[in-house]
A and B are shown apart, each in its own frame.
Chain A
Amino acid sequence: MSDPGLAPPQDHLRTSYRHVRDPRMQKVLRVQAALGSAIREYLDGEGFTELLPPIIGPVADPGIRGAKQATINFYGREYKVTSSAILYKQMMAASLGRIYFFSPNVRLEPLETASTGRHLVEFVQVDIEEAGATYEDAMRRAEDLVEHATHGVRARAGGELEAIGRRLNGGGTPYKRISYEEALRILADHGREIPYATEIPWAEEEFLSTRFQAPFFIYDYPRGSRGFYDREHPDRPGILRDFDLLYPEGYGEAISGAEREYEYARVIARLRETGENPSKYEWYLDMLREGIPPSSGFGIGVERLTRYVCGLKTVWEARPYPKVAGVFSP
């Protein structure tokens, strides 16, 4: 997969208008569209309502590793461009129960991500939230969705996949589940010690991913390694009720999900982990004070899913007009 010395794709990106007309790229884009309709078919069949995604707002998700938010001048005040729809997901799950967005996100990622082959500055994630669900429910939902999408795409774009030459190893659900602590142990056994309570670094995540032949979950991340909205276990302080789904074969992270903190007093203490003044999140905190139901959900990146399904070397081959950290391109 992404070799560490991968150069930022300057030339490739500058000429993306040419790449989109490449026959192989045309097939990739058709597979991507097929994945989209398979995902919608699954979610609609499960009683989810698709909503229009928010693009701008007074605050966005601060729980994004190292990435800066993009801002726009909104008549003299500042708006953030959506880095994830998390805060709005909770708002809408409180209204409609089961909801999803095809949500465009912008994250000004650190320059070091330009050569991971796994990071885009602009991408789309299917952002899903379900009122009353636990994180175990969300994990089951996530694996059903991935299964449905990867099977559905064969029915819809089997010819394209064959031409691309990609055969997915069938895994079958349930996917294997390992805890964050087990993941650290596996890494340590291979001489890759990482400090407890930090997010698993990209190189280590990729290494773990190469050890598996089918998608797998890592769950129960420690507090501090994830966003403030991931719910802390009520009876296991310091452990969050959250998870990642990783693709096998070195493709790495597919999904991040969690049960949400939804109680005002807990959220305000957790918010300080960002070092910010909670007043910045005024509308969100007002909403929590008025009360919302518990919920769980996750987001799955469409480009990363496409990359995995098509077996592409990098994620910037998995969407038209890709944007990568530090590279100015069409």
Chain B
Amino acid sequence: MSEPLTKLFMKVASVRSAAAAGRTFLESYPVDEIIQKAKHGKDALYPFSDLDEYGRALLGADISVKQATRFSTLDELVLLPPIFTPKRLERMTELAREPFFSDVDLETAIGGFRSRLPLAMASMGSTDVAHSQSPHLGRGAAEAGIPMGMGENIATVWGYARRTKASMPTFKQRLFAYLDHVKEPLGGVVIQQSVEDAFDELWHKVYTDPDVEPFFRKGLVAFEVKLGQGAKPGLGGETKVSRDAARSLKGKYYFPDDPDTVELDLYERHSAPGTYTEEILRGQLRSLRTNFPRARIWIKTGPFRDLLAMFRVASQERIDAVLVDGKEGGTGMSPVIALKDLGLPTLACLKRINDARLEGLRAPFVLSGRLFDGGHVVKALALGANAVAFGRPFIVAVGVGGAKGIRNYLEATEVEIRMLISSLGKYKVADVSHEDVGSLDRALADALNIPFVYA
């Protein structure tokens, strides 16, 4: 290669443009599918294109996969409907008619809350992409009757009740985008507190806030101890903030570039992962119960190798819910090497949940990490989760149509869940079990102790 050409090549190869990053996301994430659902609701559930329509098209299972994956996902499992369906007979006896998929009862207890679906909106943090849309996200989740999480650093970065940036909502506005539209007795809000939020006593602030007090009385608020995140287990939260923000936050976070002496547009801001031993966690959970008797207590964990040991502590301490986020979970910002090399895939986390069930642990489990359709929900239920949480699908859906986009997306997902559960001859979420799922891969089948479908 001539020298100018080499230079040009180096230049092209070294530019990581927004378009390229966007393309990667489009290629690896089912954005198109979610957009269709957010636009059309349940009408998006059939694979018609604009060119064919009902009665003319000939369709069948897509036998390809979008791309080769490095690790196994829930898409390597299939659900296994039976012919003989004693539970359907039970339901028919109740109804005095043949049951339809609309007869599946989806209302689920999630971590002390009641939810219209076995599905929650995962905690999103302080990054712009989630925070700027948070009024619609909160309203959408509340109107859909599902719980919603609020991630770390929102109050520290955007202010508890006074805006740190004119165009961005405060913590409290984000909280009330949900609470103002909550459909009691359904729903509930789950609030995290980072080490940095704890510096300002965020939970104490919320707990003593007269505006929030009625919701504690009704049991609609949980505090969530965050032990890590799918996309960066073992690392603290990371984001970029403006110079003004960096200056005001200096001392609470780690800034590799000192905002007082180095001039940049944006400053990397790292928060601490938090130090735990079993005893520290136990003590912290007990202190939470003592300090905030009217709050539900949740744990959010990343995909750590010692999940089972933590599940035992959670179970002994009667925690309301443990949310497990797999390594392919969404993130506002995570080092590439962490995304590539840290932690257990979501399916491996589900296997730990399954192990916990076999051990008889009582804690309710919520699974998250690149889950986006009704099939993922039902497979997670079959392997021991009580519910799942979605994150990125809601960000895509809210981008398509605000709170309406979320309602449409959830309508489509709800119908998927109903269809799948009813196909298994079951009409209650709690009846979905191990027998309902099989694996396309033999090693996976052995690991999960479910049938290898070709055997």
Contact = CB atoms under 8 A, between A and B. Distances in A.
Interface stretch (B191-199, B349-357, B408-416): B191-199
A269 B289 contact: no
Interface stretch (B92-100, B179-187, B274-282, B375-383): B274-282
Contact of B207 (A68, A69, A275): A68
Interface in A280-297: 280
A270 B279 CA distance: 9
A66 B198 CA distance: 13
Contact of B292 (A66, A222, A223, A280): A66
B290 A225 contact: yes
B253 to A, nearest CB: 10
Interface string B191-234: 00101101101001101101001000100000001000000000
A221 to B, nearest CB: 10
A111 B204 contact: no
A197 B272 contact: no
Interface in B288-313: 289-294
A66 B199 contact: no
Contacts of A137: none
B201 A69 contact: yes
A227 to B, nearest CB: 9
A277 B198 contact: yes
A165 B416 CA distance: 72
Contact of A198 (B195, B282, B293): B293
Contacts of B285: 224
A259 interface: no
Contacts of A112: 213, 217, 294
Contacts of A280: 199
B428 interface: no
A173 interface: no
Interface string A86-110: 0000000000000000000000111
Describe B's contact surface by its main secondary structure.
helix
B284 A272 contact: yes
Contacts of B277: 269
Contacts of B210: 111, 326
B163 interface: no
A110 B287 contact: no
Interface residues of B, number: 35
Interface centre among B208, B272, B282 (most CB of A within 10 A): B208
A199 interface: yes
Contacts of B294: 110, 112
Interface residues of A, number: 33
A108 B291 CA distance: 13
B283 interface: yes
Given A66-B207, A68-B205, A277-B272, A270 B291 contact: no
B208 A224 contact: no
A195 interface: yes
Interface string B253-281: 00000000000000000001011110110
Given A69-B204, A201-B293, A272-B275, A277 B199 contact: yes
Contact of A223 (B201, B208, B274, B283): B283
Interface string A259-271: 0000000000110
Interface in A242-274: 269-270, 272-274
A195 B289 contact: yes
Contacts of A189: none
A272 B207 contact: no
B283 A273 contact: yes
Given A195-B318, A276-B195, A277-B198, A67 B286 contact: no
A185 to B, nearest CB: 19
A121 to B, nearest CB: 10
B199 A273 contact: no
Contacts of B289: 195, 197-198, 224
Interface string A223-243: 111100000000000000000
12 contacts: A68-B204, A69-B204, A112-B213, A112-B217, A112-B294, A197-B286, A222-B286, A223-B279, A223-B283, A224-B282, A275-B274, A325-B208
Interface of B: 193, 195-196, 198-199, 201, 204-205, 207-208, 210, 213, 217, 225, 272, 274-277, 279-280, 282-287, 289-294, 317-318
10 shortest interchain CB distances as A-B pairs: A224-B286, A273-B283, A68-B204, A199-B290, A224-B283, A272-B280, A198-B289, A276-B198, A197-B286, A277-B195
